[in-house]
Amino acid sequence: MTAGRAYRGERCMGGQLVYTPDGDVLDKHLHVLRRAPGGFDWGPEADEARIDQLAIALLADSATKNIALDHYKEFAQYLREELAGDEWRLPTSDISSDTWSRAIHVADEMPSPEDVDITAVDFDGITFAVERALCEKHDISVHQSVDNRREKLVAARQAVQSETTDSEESRSDTDGFEFPAASQ
């Protein structure tokens, strides 16, 4: 029976420790998404990257990697609001249920890769859904640190802008005349 099963967290001299329902230390799940290799945090004053890592680890451990990637920001907000103090207990049923969901369907919000234009995106205000679509479009792994992912997206943007500039220059060399395709 799993009704009493819960994840537990505690702040101690060594940092913040989180335990699985089986009593093991919760893996950070850095292989899913690396937000804060240094550990977890929770509560209203929590560091954003550390609370994101806690959300990723809890969702990946209790559900799937894809659910963790799709919903960690929303779940992190729930953890910020609901977990306070030096110790907490979070039943597994609270993670698997929609008690933390704000009725936002992330899959519905994620644009298709064809709908995103990397040259028009503001990387400072980008949502995870748009970033994920861009990564898919430009064959960049989402499963890496945000900094590495952003560096690759910036490089992809520069490549696209360079291609656009090159094609505009070749058109201006012919005064806008486009040569018909050679017939066979």
Interval 10-22 mean pLDDT:
91
Burial of 96 (0-12, 13-18, 19+ CB in 10 A): middle
Same domain, 152 and 127: yes
Asked whether the CA dihedral 98, 87, 20, 71 is positive or negative, the reply is: positive
Q: Which of 34, 67, 96 is the endpoint of a domain?
A: 96
**Average pLDDT over the chain, rounded to an integer:** 80
Whether 72 and 117 map to the same domain: the answer is no
- pLDDT score of 144: 60
Q: Are residues 80 and 21 in the same domain?
A: yes
Answer whether residue 103 is part of any domain.
Answer: no
Residues 14 and 90 in one domain: yes
Q: Are 45 and 122 members of one domain?
A: no
Per the structure, how many domains does the chain have?
Answer: 2
Instruction: Tell me, yes or no, whether 86 and 141 share the same domain.
Output: no
Residue that finishes a domain, picked among 96, 126, 160: 96
The answer to whether position 62 is within a domain reads yes
Classify 99 as helix, strand or coil: coil
SS3 15: strand
- Do the Cβ atoms of 71 and 39 come closer than 8 Å? no
| Within a domain: 184 | no
Let me know whether 134 and 164 are in one domain: yes
Host domain of residue 52: 6-96
Pair (72, 134) in one structural domain: no
- Measure Cα distances from 22 to 2, 25, 85, 119, 175 in Å: 11, 9, 22, 47, 72
* Residue 135 counted as domain residue: yes
Shared domain for 26 and 77, answered yes or no, is yes
> pLDDT, tens digit, for every residue of 84-135?
889 999 888 778 756 666 544 444 456 788 888 888 888 776 666 777 788 8
Look at residue 182 and tell me if it is in a domain: no
Q: What local confidence, expressed as pLDDT, does residue 71 receive?
A: 86
State yes or no: pLDDT of 12 exceeds 80: yes
Q: Which two tokens stand for residue 21?
A: 């329902």
**pTM score, two decimals?**
0.57
